[in-house]
């Protein structure tokens, strides 16, 4: 049951896309253009099966058996769609993300009456009434994979992605990787404290991109999102304060008041970004107190190991790679590849000026993203997103015995099952650029 602040309001599920500067491109604008599936589907397995059957195109489900009144969408958050919506080139977007990291701004707090996310509040808090999907039979159950957690404790705010396994109508078990929110939760647990949080689904894409960033030192990701909002839209990011004191983006599909408790439970198994099954662990329990949502809410039901998962993992790492490479050579684009699950492998586009610039770029890229296992460096005429063109560059511009760097005993990624028991791995860098100063014509394609 719902308390509806705006009874009788009917919000359309499709919107005109605004692809020119100065206009906000929100979550629902990204939904626009999705194929609408109005056939009855279940939260258990059906949506992923239908997505795969249709070639994983953007798809909106409007008739979900277990969740009347709620829709679900997937496959909308891709590099190409984001660049088209923001009206920027991929390399430009990477630079804007990097700029926002260095120039965080303040969001603007608005009254509750103006916040779309507070249009409705469930009288009985029940996660089972939301179209949280069970995508893979190998998973432990229904998972929130695209919801972000906004936490505040002892004056520090963190906004980040953490998968949550639904345990009951008002509880989940959250996988906290060893980053800032884990530290925050551990500090609270030592004091027998709970951490007040908001779980947000379907905010503006700038919030999703900021939440997917990771930093060596704590940085308020919501302020990074505010900077992106100002840079891309020319306006302030609007937030609203919930009853538990947490501020959330006012234009979101769902905002859920909750607490990270001192209790733990089993989380997993879970099909992770590499398509392999992650382990079962004891992780913190989250208890939910209130669920707010927009009229006609649309739940973002990201498919793990799918294109959106790779976009959110890879795109926010591209700025750190590009920044590192740009210190040694002109870098024009970076792409975390699908085959590397948006995390373990990248293609870096440079403009070499001196012999050896390709090798310098390889070393800098690996330093810019230490989880990465492979780097391929190409010239500006090679589309970094086109795997066939990248392979073509390898076959026509790369000599394995002289243009390859192999490093042993390097820090590996926990996502790589082939790493050593101590967590180390070997890494490879491939220079597929043309040496500067030579005749380029034999290396250039007319196709």
- 253-311 per-position pLDDT tens digit: 999 999 999 999 999 999 999 999 999 999 999 999 999 999 999 999 999 999 999 99
H or E stretch at 177: none
Q: Where are the domains of the chain?
A: 78-301, 327-435
The tokens 């249009």 sit on which residue? 119
pLDDT tens by residue, 310-325: 999 888 889 999 999 9
Residues annotated as catalytic are: 272
Q: Which residue has the tokens 């180390």?
A: 424
CATH number for the 327-435 domain, one of 1.10.3720.10, 3.30.465.10, 3.30.70.260, 3.40.1670.10? 3.40.1670.10
**β-bridge mates for residue 282, sequence order:** 266
Radius of gyration, alpha carbons of the chain: 22
pLDDT (0 to 100) of residue 315: 87
What is the spatial distance between Cα 385 and Cα 338, in angstroms, rounded to a whole number?
9
What are 294's two structure tokens?
């927009």
Per-residue pLDDT at 415: 86
Residue 224 burial class via C-beta count within 10 angstroms: exposed 0-12, middle 13-18, buried 19 and up: buried
| DSSP states of 90-136 | HHHHHHHHHHHHHS----EE--GGG-GGGSEEESS--GGGS---B--
CA dist 17 and 20 (Å) reads 9
Q: Round to whole Å and give the CA distance between 349 and 386.
A: 12
CA separation for the pair 73, 15 (Å, rounded): 14
User: Of the CATH numbers 2.30.110.10, 2.40.30.10, 3.40.50.1970, 3.40.190.10, which one belongs to the domain with range 78-301?
Assistant: 2.30.110.10
Q: Which of 172, 160, 162, 201 is nearest to 77 (CA)?
A: 201
At 256, list the tokens: 């859920």
Neighbour count for residue 339 (Cβ, 10 Å): 10
Reduced to 3 states, what is the DSSP secondary structure of residue 296? coil
Q: Which pTM was predicted? A: 0.88
Taking 50 as the pLDDT cut, the residues of the chain under it are 1-22
pLDDT value at residue 414: 84
Q: What pLDDT, on the 0 to 100 scale, is given for residue 8?
A: 32
* Neighbour order of strands in the sheet with 71-74: 35-37, 59-61, 71-74, 298-300
User: What was the pLDDT predicted at 380?
Assistant: 96
Helices (H), 215-302: 221-233
Q: Is 99 within 8 Å of 39 (Cβ atoms)?
A: no
Distance CA 25, CA 113 (A): 22
């Amino acid at each position: 049951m719902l308390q509806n602040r705006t009874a009788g309001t009917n919000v359309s599920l499709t919107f005109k896309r605004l692809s020119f500067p100065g206009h906000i491109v929100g979550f629902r604008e990204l939904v626009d253009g999705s194929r609408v599936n109005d056939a009855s589907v279940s939260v258990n397995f059906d949506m992923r099966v239908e997505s795969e059957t249709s070639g994983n195109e953007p798809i909106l489900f409007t008739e979900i058996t277990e969740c009347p009144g709620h829709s679900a969408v997937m496959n909308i958050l891709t590099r190409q769609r984001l660049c088209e919506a923001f009206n920027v080139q991929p390399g430009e977007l990477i630079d804007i993300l990097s700029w926002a990291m260095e120039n965080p701004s303040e969001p603007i707090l608005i009254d509750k009456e103006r916040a779309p996310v507070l249009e409705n509040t469930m009288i009985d808090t029940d996660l089972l009434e939301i179209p949280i999907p069970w995508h893979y039979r190998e998973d432990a159950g229904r998972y929130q994979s695209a919801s972000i957690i906004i936490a505040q404790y002892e004056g520090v705010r963190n906004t980040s992605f953490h998968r949550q396994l639904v345990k009951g109508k008002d509880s989940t078990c959250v996988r906290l990787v060893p980053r800032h929110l884990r530290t925050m939760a551990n500090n609270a647990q030592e004091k027998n404290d709970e951490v007040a949080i908001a779980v947000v689904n379907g905010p503006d894409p700038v919030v999703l991109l900021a939440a997917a960033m990771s930093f060596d030192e704590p940085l308020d990701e919501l302020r990074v999102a505010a900077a992106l909002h100002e840079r891309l839209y020319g306006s302030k990011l609007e937030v609203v304060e919930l009853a538990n004191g947490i501020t959330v983006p006012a234009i979101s599909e769902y905002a859920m008041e909750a607490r990270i408790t001192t209790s733990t439970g089993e989380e997993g198994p879970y099909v992770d970004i590499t398509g392999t099954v992650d382990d079962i662990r004891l992780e913190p329990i989250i208890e939910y107190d209130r669920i707010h949502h927009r009229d006609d809410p649309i739940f973002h039901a990201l498919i793990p190991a799918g294109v959106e998962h790779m976009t959110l993992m890879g795109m926010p790492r591209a700025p750190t790679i590009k920044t590192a490479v740009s210190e040694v050579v002109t870098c024009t684009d970076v792409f975390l590849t699908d085959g590397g699950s948006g995390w373990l492998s990248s293609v870096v586009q440079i403009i070499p000026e001196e012999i050896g610039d390709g090798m310098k770029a390889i070393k800098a890229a690996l330093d810019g993203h230490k989880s990465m296992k492979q780097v391929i460096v190409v010239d500006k005429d090679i589309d970094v997103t086109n795997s066939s063109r990248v392979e073509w560059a390898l076959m026509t511009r790369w000599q394995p015995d002289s243009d390859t760097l192999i490093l042993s005993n390097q820090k590996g990624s926990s996502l790589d099952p082939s790493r050593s028991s101590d967590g180390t791995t070997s890494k490879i860098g491939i220079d597929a650029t043309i040496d500067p100063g030579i005749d380029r014509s034999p290396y250039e394609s007319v196709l």
